[in-house]
């Protein structure tokens, strides 16, 4: 009986725990932490149960909210794609919750319980976006995750208020574009349910309709704003790099990937492969934009002196990977992009956690803070190394396999510029990470270069921070080693018909 | 920069206006939006939920899941403003250059407020309870309730209002409202239905399933009203005092 | 001929066009204005215009508010005539959008107060100049 209700429990449990924190945990920080942990564990186990159900059955799970049949009520639809995304989102939210034990108390000492409530609301908003099968419901949940992320990002460092304000303005433009696009679809079809929409949009006169095309473009632009795709990315690095450690661990890996999932869902479940690639003619342009995003993101990352900003630009480049992979119009490219959603959440999370631990210990986020890291914090350094290898794409980490499939897709469709951009980005990432490794491992001299050995005391981050970090690092290797299993059992099913 | 923006915005606007020729005529009863789902709701909603106000029926029942998250949005906004602005330490107070001092008390304002607040709150309760049959419901009633407290704070002062309605109580009510909404959904889940399927309540309350929809909607509207009332007041508190819960900015 | 089609276009679609023009006014405000508070006002215009757009979708000529009249349809449900009531769905959706608009406005104003406190101004160019120093 419970397993039939698992789809709704995935997002209901964090929501209820968030409310419980506001209601009962006003005084006790430990109770707030305990409740958030319960919420994330519950959500994760419900997501696991859903994933197993999807893997065992062949048809997607439909969950009717309020018991109403689909076009009239709202339904949750869980197929292989979003079962995987739900699993990875709730899993990384759980890891971040464990990790946050030490950092939140340092960074937001006065409002721990409010912070955790917003955390829970953000996670349930993201999970709801992934699970829903209704275009308008997606907007509501998008706004929940946006509002809670505004609050979390604003409590950051330095000029966080200013960058969050910019994010509010541009984020609202994005969300409103999405809403307007849904309005165009609604006015032409009279429905909001995704499956119903896709049936109606398949008719030939809808394909020619200029307002449906406008609706598609508005929706896609809205989602691109949210994920920080190339020309619309200006807000992202400032906003995420100025956030507090826990916030950036939570938001930076998840928000962008969930937006990419939303883009895939809308492109192929509301519209169709034929519509997106044949009726509309900007497939080439988008791949070029993705190339620019990858190259510009990588070069900007190389220019940064601040670890967190560097990671934010890497995130931008990774967004380019996935958008490009989806728009390659090729099944291998698509599989690479979907696989990369999974691996990228884990590798960015791993890197942000490692950098967060360094900041926690040294109070500094510049490249210099990595000096002597292998002596001081060997475990953190190892996790950082594995994350870095995965970003570069060194086997057996999962970053290699996703890149492999993306490149295969690019070659098969003859879009060599995308392949070149990917290889270029790998090269730049290699330079980037080996520079940091050099600082951390070999460079034991002080600034004047006189060869005076600085003494690096062993001072590792607390276990509560190390454990999730190591799980992340290990998962990068595990995902890499089980690539064929994941591709065969999950990713293969997500490839839309006609690709 | 401004010129470029103006150019782009005008271009986009002209394109969007041009696309409207493809849209169905304004006010056309036969347009897809007005005929497909809409006709079903108009014809069936009263029969299926026994609520004559179709907006309420669709809002709190057919799309009740949306509305739950709408309440969460309100809750989230209140919490976000609180997290951003509220501070208990007063050390930054001198940074604010312009802080209006309230001079004396206005007897006309206070007496007018005194006369108005009770009828306002009564009317708000009516709007909440009668949302099934007339325009109204939890959001509207909750806003009126919240406005009554804001009026109290405007006519008297924040401190005396806060003595009557403490900040922690405000927060408690805001959380409680969402909890009532989600709780009704969870109980229908425990009773064997899907989340927010009010029909499952029928057996428990000893009424028909159709009537249970109506009662379920009343329940969630009350939850919505709690949250909206508390958060409207909380937004006023924090925004008007700059997070100090003191007078003025 | 052209004139006629233009006039009929304006008459039948002017509501959508008005909403879209308002959206563009709001968007211009959000992007181009220097004062951060004016950006927030632009945001409000933007969101209200979208509400107008949706409500225009739900309008039917000659129809009344979507509340079933008591008495007429009580005994015989088939008697409810859909052309008598406007489309309730856009109203429901826009109730959500209004709430989201209020919520975003509140958070934006809160952050604006913080910006004013940190930088002493809400003019964007002045803030950027003070950062350079």
Q: What is the ipTM of this complex?
A: 0.92
Q: How far is CA B172 from CA A25, A113, A440, B234, C2, in A?
A: 11, 13, 49, 11, 63
Task: Let me know if residue C50 belongs to a domain.
Answer: yes
In contact, B32 and A189? CB cutoff 8 Å: yes
- Would you state the pLDDT for residue A137? 93
- Chains with ≥3 Cβ pairs under 8 A against B? A, C
Question: Residue B249: pLDDT band by 50, 70, 90 thresholds?
Answer: very low
Of B39, B84, B249, which has the smallest distance from its Cβ to C111's Cβ?
B84
pLDDT of C130 over the 70 cut: yes
Residue B223 C-alpha, separation from nearest chain C C-alpha, in angstroms: 15
Beta-carbon contacts below 8 Å between A and B: 159
**How far is the alpha carbon of B105 from chain A, nearest alpha carbon, in Å?**
35
- In chain B, which residue's Cα lies nearest the Cα of C33? B2
Which chains, if any, share at least 3 CB pairs under 8 A with chain C? A, B
Q: What is the pLDDT of residue A447?
A: 52
A187 chain-C contacts, CB cut-off 8 A: 57
Confidence of residue A43 (pLDDT cuts 50, 70, 90): very high
State yes or no: pLDDT of B248 exceeds 70: no
User: Which contiguous run of DSSP H or E holds residue A62?
Assistant: strand A61-64
Give the pLDDT band of residue A451 (cuts 50, 70, 90): very low
Total domains present in chain B = 1
User: The tokens of B72 are what?
Assistant: 């969460």
Q: Is residue C110 part of a domain?
A: yes
Instruction: Indicate left, alpha or beta for A190 from its phi (over 0: left) and psi (-120 to 50: alpha).
Output: left
CA distances (Å), origin A433, targets A381, A396, B207: 12, 17, 67
Helix (H) or strand (E) holding A66: none
C10: in domain: no
pLDDT of residue A307: 87
- Can you tell me which residue has the tokens 């999932």? A261
Is C1 inside a domain boundary?
Answer: no
Confirm whether B38 is domain-assigned. no
Chain B residues with beta carbon closer than 8 angstroms to that of A187: 23-24, 31-33
Contact B17 C20 (CB under 8 A): yes
Subunit contact B175:A148, Cβ cutoff 8 A? no
C125 within domain boundaries: yes
How many CA within 13 A on the CB side of residue B7? 4
Stretch C72-96: mean pLDDT: 76
Q: Does B81 reside within a domain? A: yes
pLDDT given for residue C42 in this prediction = 93
Q: Which residue has the tokens 């704003």?
A: A225
How confident is the prediction for chain A on average, in pLDDT?
87
Reported as a single tens digit per residue, the pLDDT across B39-98 is 888 888 888 888 888 888 888 888 989 999 999 999 999 999 988 888 765 555 554 555
Using CA atoms of C53, C54, C58, C64 in order, give the dihedral in degrees to the nearest 10. Answer: -80
Q: Is residue B18 part of a domain?
A: no
What value does the mean pLDDT take over residues C90-115?
91
Please tell me the distance in Å from C48's CA to the nearest CA on chain B. 16
Residue B195 has pLDDT above 70, yes or no: yes
Give the pLDDT score at B231: 93
The minimal CB distance from B239 to the residues C60, C100, C106 is found for: C106
Domain count, chain C: 1
Look at the pTM and tell me if it is higher than 0.90. yes
Q: What is the pLDDT of residue B247?
A: 65
Domain that holds residue B75: 63-87+105-249
Q: What share of chain A is helix, strand, coil (3-state, %, to 5)?
A: 80, 5, 20
Interchain contact, A15 vs B182, CB within 8 Å: yes
Instruction: Find, in chain B, the residue whose alpha carbon is nearest to that of A66.
Output: B197
The reported pLDDT for the residue numbered B211 is: 86
Residue B23 is assigned to a structural domain of this protein: no
Cross-chain residue pair B37–A211, CB shorter than 8 Å: no
Return the closest-CA partner of residue A23 out of C115, B180, C52, C107: B180
- DSSP symbols for C66-87: SBPPTTTSSS-GGG--GGGB--
Whether residue C86 is contained in a domain is answered as yes
Beta strands A61-64; A75-78: pairing state: antiparallel
User: What is the percentage of chain B residues whose pLDDT exceeds 90?
Assistant: 29
pLDDT at C73: 47
B198: chain A residues, CB-CB within 8 Å? 66
Residue B33 to residue C57, Cβ atoms within 8 A: yes
Does a structural domain hold residue C73? Answer: no
Give the domain range for residue C48. 36-60+81-133
Q: What is the pLDDT of residue A394?
A: 86
């Amino acid at each position: 009986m419970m397993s039939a209700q698992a789809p709704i429990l995935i997002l209901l449990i964090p929501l209820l725990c968030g409310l419980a924190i506001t209601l009962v945990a006003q005084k006790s920080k430990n109770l707030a932490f305990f409740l958030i942990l319960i919420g994330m564990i519950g959500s994760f186990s419900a997501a696991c149960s859903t994933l197993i159900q999807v893997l065992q059955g062949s048809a997607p799970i439909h969950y009717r909210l309020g018991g109403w049949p689909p076009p009239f009520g709202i339904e949750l639809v869980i197929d292989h794609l979003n079962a995987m995304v739900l699993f990875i989102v709730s899993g990384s939210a759980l890891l971040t919750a464990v990790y946050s034990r030490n950092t939140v108390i340092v960074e937001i000492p006065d409002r721990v319980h409010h912070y955790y409530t917003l955390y829970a609301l953000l996670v349930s908003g993201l999970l709801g976006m992934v699970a829903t099968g209704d275009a308008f419901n997606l907007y509501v949940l998008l706004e929940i995750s946006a509002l809670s992320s505004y609050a979390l990002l604003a409590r950051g460092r330095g000029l966080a208020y200013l960058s969050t304000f910019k994010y509010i303005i541009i984020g609202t433009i994005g969300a409103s574009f999405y809403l307007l696009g849904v309005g165009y679809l609604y006015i032409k079809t009279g429905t909001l349910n995704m499956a119903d929409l896709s049936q109606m949009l398949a008719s030939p006169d809808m394909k020619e309709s200029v307002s449906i095309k406008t609706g598609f473009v508005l929706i896609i632009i809205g989602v691109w704003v949210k994920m920080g795709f190339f020309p619309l990315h200006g807000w992202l690095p400032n906003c995420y790099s100025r956030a507090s450690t826990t916030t950036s661990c939570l938001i930076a890996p998840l928000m962008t990937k969930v937006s990419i999932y939303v883009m895939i869902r809308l492109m192929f479940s509301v519209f169709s492969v034929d519509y997106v690639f044949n009726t509309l003619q900007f497939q080439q342009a988008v791949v070029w934009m993705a190339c620019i995003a990858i190259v510009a993101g990588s070069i900007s990352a190389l220019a940064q002196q601040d670890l967190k900003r560097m990671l934010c630009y890497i995130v931008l480049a990774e967004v380019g990977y996935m958008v490009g992979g989806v728009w390659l119009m090729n099944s291998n490219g698509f599989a690479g992009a979907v696989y990369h959603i999974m691996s990228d959440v884990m590798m960015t999370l791993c890197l942000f956690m490692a950098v967060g631990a360094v900041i926690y210990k040294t109070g500094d986020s510049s490249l210099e803070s990595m000096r002597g890291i292998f002596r001081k914090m060997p475990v953190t350094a190892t996790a950082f190394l594995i994350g870095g290898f995965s970003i570069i794409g060194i086997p057996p980490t999962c970053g290699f396999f996703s890149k492999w499939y993306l490149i295969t897709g690019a070659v098969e469709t003859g879009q060599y510029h995308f392949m070149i951009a990917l290889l270029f980005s790998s090269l730049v990432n290699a330079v980037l990470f080996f520079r940091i490794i050099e600082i951390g491992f070999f460079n034991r001299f002080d600034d004047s270069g006189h060869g005076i050995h600085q003494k690096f005391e062993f001072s590792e981050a607390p276990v509560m921070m190390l454990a999730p970090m190591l799980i992340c690092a290990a998962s990068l290797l595990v995902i890499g080693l089980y690539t064929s299993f994941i591709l065969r059992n999950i990713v293969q099913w997500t490839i839309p018909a006609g690709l | 920069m401004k010129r470029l923006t103006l150019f782009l915005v005008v271009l986009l606007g002209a394109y969007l206006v041009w696309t409207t020729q493809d849209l169905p005529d304004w006010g056309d009863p036969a347009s897809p939006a007005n005929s497909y789902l809409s006709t079903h709701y108009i014809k069936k909603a009263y029969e299926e939920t026994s609520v004559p106000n179709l907006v309420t029926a669709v809002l709190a029942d057919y799309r009740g899941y949306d509305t739950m998250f709408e309440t969460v949005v309100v809750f989230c906004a209140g919490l976000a403003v609180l997290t951003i602005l509220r501070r208990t330490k007063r050390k930054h107070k001198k940074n604010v250059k312009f802080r209006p001092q309230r001079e004396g008390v206005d007897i006309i304002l206070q007496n007018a407020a005194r006369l108005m607040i009770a009828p306002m709150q009564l009317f708000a309760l009516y709007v909440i309870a009668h949302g099934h049959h007339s325009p109204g419901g939890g959001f509207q009633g909750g806003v009126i309730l919240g406005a009554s407290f804001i009026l109290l704070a405007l006519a008297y002062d924040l401190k005396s209002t806060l003595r009557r309605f403490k900040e922690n109580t405000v927060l408690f009510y805001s959380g409680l409202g969402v909890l009532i909404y989600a709780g009704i959904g969870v109980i229908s889940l425990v009773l064997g239905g899907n989340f927010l399927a009010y029909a499952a309540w029928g057996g428990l309350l000893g009424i028909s399933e159709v009537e249970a929809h109506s009662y379920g909607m009343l329940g969630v509207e009350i939850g919505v009203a709690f949250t909206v009332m508390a958060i409207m007041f909380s937004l006023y508190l924090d925004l008007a005092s700059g997070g100090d819960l003191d007078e003025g900015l | 001929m052209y004139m006629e089609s233009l006039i009929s276009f304006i008459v039948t679609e002017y509501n959508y066009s008005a909403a879209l023009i308002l959206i563009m006014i709001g968007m211009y405000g959000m992007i181009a204005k220097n004062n951060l508070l004016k950006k927030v006002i632009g945001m409000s215009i933007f969101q209200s215009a979208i509400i107008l757009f949706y409500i225009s979708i739900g309008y039917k000529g000659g129809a009344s508010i979507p509340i079933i009249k008591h008495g007429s349809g009580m005994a015989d449900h088939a008697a409810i005539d859909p052309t008598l009531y406007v489309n309730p769905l856009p109203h429901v959706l826009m109730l959500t959008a209004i709430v989201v608009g209020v919520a975003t406005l509140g958070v934006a104003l809160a952050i604006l107060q913080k910006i004013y406190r940190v930088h002493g101004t809400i003019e964007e160019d002045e803030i950027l100049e003070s950062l350079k120093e």
